[in-house]
Every structure is written in structure tokens, then in C-alpha cells.
Structure 1
Amino acid sequence: MTEHVCAEIVPIFQQLNHDELIKVSSLVKHHHVEKGEVILSPDSPSQLVIIAQGAAKTYQLSANGKEQLLRVLDAGDFEGEKNLFGVGNDELYVEMLKNSTYCSIETTNFQQLLGSYPSIALKLLKSNAEKIDALEKQNQLLNHDLVEQRLATYLLDLAKTKGSYQFILPMKLKELASFLGTTPETISRKLKLFVQQDLLTQNRHQIEITAPDQLEAIKNA
């Protein structure tokens, strides 16, 4: 891994030239962590964390301690941008899904970058707006009473995002179940039911929607 890999793969830094990337990299700390380690929580220092290699999940805990998945992070994704604008993290956790490498930038150091490169702030605001939009969609999805409605909605939205009815599920059943507010066993049963009803085909994480209109009918039932 090069010294400025984190700066290179994060969209908010992509407009910077080589020398500027080196400057950013001088503020970055690299960490190697194992699956299951929590790298961001309400108790963490105020910082931005960037996934360099591997994958992580962002979630929050309900009042009874139940995990609610918000999103899965891949290489180049980041979390903690609220800290950069003085908004504390009261609820978010980031946990590694596999042995991974991540980078961190302390808030005070990052605020220096914002002064030098205002375009970074604009990209951060855009990223934050996209996350808010995704959370609103998730809340709408969870308003469906039936799990099959939530699953149908999720699959159709994913197909729309991918631009194809054939795609790979971006998360394991455990994470998908948490995202949809149910259990892995229920998700597995509903997927098998959709296959039996000829609504889709499934080969492990590979999905192909074969009857989008019927799936849409389930979504809107």
C-alpha cells in the first residue's frame, strides 16, 4: 500500500494533484485491524475514518441494544464527516466485516485542509446529503409492515441503482437482515419464496430479477 493510498481512493480528494495528495497523506494515520473491531463509536476521538482495504459496516443501536445497519462501507468509503463540522457522534458505530486497513484524520488536521481546499468541503456536503437521502429511503422501506415488501423494495431499488436486473447483493444475509429490520432466516426464506414464484433467480449473492412487474406488485401491496 502506498503512503497516500487513502487520499488517492477517496472521491473528496480526487481533484487534488500529486503534491497536494502528499500533503493530505502527511495528516493520515494508517491502521491494520481485524474483523469485528470497532473503529468508530460515540467514545472515539473526533476524526474521519477511511476504508483503505476491506469492508466495514455502519450501524446504530436501538434503546434495547438491537443493531440497525445503515450502510456497508467498501474501499474508498468514509465515515465521521459530521465531526468535521462540529456535530458530535452520538449514535454511529463502524465495525470491520473482515481483516482490513483503514486511515484516520483528526478533525483539527482536517479542518486545516478545508481552509486550503474549499472544494473538499463542498464534496463532503454532497456526500452527507447522499447519506441523508439513503437514510430517508431506508426509513420509507422500513415503514412496510411485511418483510417481503421490504425485500422487494430493496431489490428493485438496487436494480435501479445498478441499471440492471442482474446484480450481486452488496452485503451478506446477516447485514441485509439488519438493514431490513428482520432476521437472516426470514430473509433466506423470502428469497427462496421469490425463487419458487419465478420472480428471480439466485446463485449465492448473484441475483437476477425475472419478473419485475410482479415484484413491483408485492412492493406496492
Structure 2
Amino acid sequence: MSQPLPYVPQSSINLGALKASCSSCSMHQLCLPLGLEDNEINRLDQIIGGRRRVAKDERLYKVDQPFRNLYAIRFGHFKTYQVNARGEEQITGFQMAGELLGMDAISSDHHHCDAVALEDSEVCEIPFERLEDLFGHVPTLLRHFHRIMSQEITREQNVMLLLGNMRADQRFAAFLVNLSTRYAARGYSSTSFALRMSREDIGNYLGLTIESVSRLLSRFKKQGCIKVDKREVTIIDPVQLKAIAAGTESCPGGSD
């Protein structure tokens, strides 16, 4: 993956620099694809509260914390999770650069989960009150925000389908295909990437044991779908991997 851009104080950012840096900054979701005018991009830039570094294993926010900001991930990876009545964590998602965190709290003004950095990361803080005010002046931005929220709803529905109706090998294949697609959308390799989350976290998210995740990695490797070197995964046969995810093929070796 490409190296993150160095920190630049906001007072020194001009429009040209903002546009040039958006390929590696999550703010490109909120501006460049929309074809905003320069003055609209400038207004968007002005409401950003600042950049915040989040160390590995540090919480960005926690459940029941009052909602004030959305967080655009500039670089790094996060996981979100809830704690059930038995005190057990249930991971609800993994987020990467170019995605927004905190939308769960918009309806209730309190966060419904914890967000924790999987590695040293950086986010842009977006005060939601100021963003809402900007929506009134830039309707195109509001429409794009609605699209982002719709995508989040679709993602949650897909997770429910993933956990409810798919075999273990389908779940794991779909997980890898999803990561591949998301990395490709950010200009990174779709076939070679590091798993920033632990096998235990992957199992928690997919409803599998850590032993099942390890067996699936071995089976997919033996089948010729992937290569694995510690946390580095290389997809050798993306067509077959997608077929397993779709349920039209299976990966031999048991049901897990």
C-alpha cells in the first residue's frame, strides 16, 4: 500500500493541494466525485475540525458516548464492535481509508458501538452540526451523503445474509472478495494485501472459530485460490474465489 501523505497544517492547504491529495485522503468521497465547485470544496475544507492520530488498539469512540463528529479515515484500519449481555465482543465491521465512522449515532445522538484502531491510523474529524448546515448550501453534498448511508445499510444487510445463509467457505470467500473490491476502489492491489485484523477477529466477525479460519486459509491455499504468508494474502484465482462466495463452487475439505 502507498505511504500516507505527511501531515500538513490546515492553514497551509490550498485547493490545488487538497485536490492533489484526495487520492489518499478519505475526503475524496465527499468532494471530488461530486464535481463540486472550488468554492464548495473550500467550504467543505473549512468545516473539518482537524486530523486526529489514533494509535493501534486505541478507541476512537465508545458505546454511549455523545455524538458530535463523523470520522473520515485518512489512513489505517479500524474495527467496530458491540458487547452482548454476556460481556462478549461481537465485531460489526472493519473499516479502512476512504470510509466514514460514526454514522450509527446520527439517529440517537449516542454511539452504539466501540471503534478501535487495528493499526496506527489517522482520521479527519467532521463536526456533524457544521456538516448539516453545509448540506443546506450544497445539496449535491447531501445527496452524496445519502448514498453513503444507503451503502452502509446495504453492507449491514449483506452481513446478515453472510452470517445467516452461507456455508463457512462461502463466508470466508465473500470476506476476501469484499476486501479485494474495497482495496481496488482505493487504487491498491486487488490481489495482494495484508489482513490488518487478527484471525480471531475475522472469526468473530464471520461467526467462525479461530481454528475454522485457519483451516479455511489452508484449504483455500491447497485449492489454489490464494497464497498466504503470515498476514499477507495473494489471490491467485479470483474467479474461483468469487464462485465459492456465490455458492456455485465449494472448497473441498469439510463443512467447518
Q: Place the TM-score, normalised by the shorter chain, in its bin.
A: 0.7 to 0.9
Distance 2:204 2:191 in 1: 23
Shift, 1:181, TM fit: 1.7
Distance 1:186 1:168 in 2: 21
Q: Which consecutive residues of structure 2, in runs of 5 or more, have no partner in the other structure?
A: 1-6
Structure 1 residue 181 corresponds to structure 2 residue 181? no
Normalised by the length of structure 2, the TM-score is 0.69
Distance 1:201 1:105 in 2: 39
Normalised by the length of structure 1, the TM-score is 0.79
User: 1:200 aligns to what?
Assistant: 225
Distance 2:170 2:72 in 1: 33
Equivalent residues of 2:77, 2:196 under 8 A apart: no
Distance 1:38 1:186 in 2: 28
Shift, 1:143, TM fit: 1.2
Equivalent residues of 1:28, 1:104 under 8 A apart: yes
User: 2:30 aligns to what?
Assistant: 12
Q: Which consecutive residues of structure 1, in runs of 5 or more, have no partner in the other structure?
A: none
Equivalent residues of 1:49, 1:105 under 8 A apart: yes
Q: Deviations over 1:165-209 (max 9, x none)?
A: 94546543343222212233320122112333x252313311223
Distance 1:111 1:153 in 2: 35
User: 2:80 aligns to what?
Assistant: 58
User: 1:118 aligns to what?
Assistant: 139
Equivalent residues of 2:70, 2:125 under 8 A apart: yes
Moved more, 135-144 or 155-164: 155-164
Which aligned pairs between 1:41-120 and structure 2 lie closer than 5 A?
41=62, 42-84=64-106, 86-120=107-141
Equivalent residues of 2:66, 2:109 under 8 A apart: no
Distance 1:53 1:166 in 2: 20
| SS in structure 1 at match of 2:235 | strand
Q: Aligned to 1:21, which of 41, 47, 70?
A: 41
Moved more, 170-179 or 121-130: 170-179
Structure 1 residue 33 corresponds to structure 2 residue 54? yes
| SS in structure 2 at match of 1:26 | helix
| CA 1:83–1:114: 2 relative to 1, 3 Å | farther
Percent of aligned positions with the same letter in both sequences?
20
| CA 1:133–1:119: 2 relative to 1, 3 Å | same
